[in-house]
Structure 1
Amino acid sequence: MTDLSHIAQPGARIPVRVTPRASRNAVTVDDDGTIRIHVTVVPEGGKANAAVVKLLSKALGVAKSRLTLVRGETSRDKLFQIDP
């Protein structure tokens, strides 16, 4: 898994691109700096968002409760904020 702990500052806003129904769960960073999160669950009833929060919190090294979804609840492009 990609280590993103260097951007885990309180108040940081983290844009991500999500791919639901992927073959595996993974967090990657493209050459242009885009954070991509691949989850195996389907985007129904917030299941994919919960899986994204779990993977992102692990990659950042912060608790799941410190991540807030600011924008993109039903979109593939999401914006998370790290709470203090």
Structure 2
Amino acid sequence: MNVNVQPHELGCVLEIKAQPGARKAELRGLQAGALKVCVTEVAEKGKANKAIITLLRKMFKLRGSQLEILSGETSSQKKLLIRNVSPDSLVQLLVAHGVTDE
């Protein structure tokens, strides 16, 4: 799997391609090494960012405090810090949720 996951002193960093305003909230595989995350919320006042964090938190069974957007708050390209999760563990979570290369 060619997902772009970087080790971080607090866990790992995952690159995300956000698609706000989608019909349904879901993971749509990988796009250029980034996890494509679709959410129904629109990209205004941080609503889509909150929806992305909520979706990933629920899917991966994490606490909200484990997820933080490091960069790309106002961009579709984001870097997400996932605390206390190793890069290998994250890749296993993605595979378990059916994420594969496009």
Using structure 1 for the length normalisation, give the TM-score. Answer: 0.78
Higher Rg: 2
Q: CA deviation at 1:22?
A: 0.6
How does 1:1-84 map onto structure 2 within 5 Å? 11-30=11-30, 33-84=33-84
SS of 1:53's equivalent? helix
Following TM superposition, by how much is the alpha carbon of 1:28 offset from its aligned partner in structure 2, in angstroms? 2.4
**SS of residue matched to 2:50:** helix
Gaps of 5+ in 1: 1-9
Aligned residues: 76
User: How far does residue 38 in structure 1 lie from its aligned partner after superposition?
Assistant: 0.5
- Could you give the per-residue CA deviations for residues 7-39 of structure 1, whole angstroms, max 9, x where no partner exists? xxx511111100011111111223765311101
Higher share in strand: 2
Matching residue's letter, 1:73 = E
Identity of aligned residues (%): 32
| Gapped regions of structure 2 (runs ≥ 5) | 1-9, 85-102
Query: How much is the aligned-residue C-alpha RMSD, in angstroms?
Result: 2.0
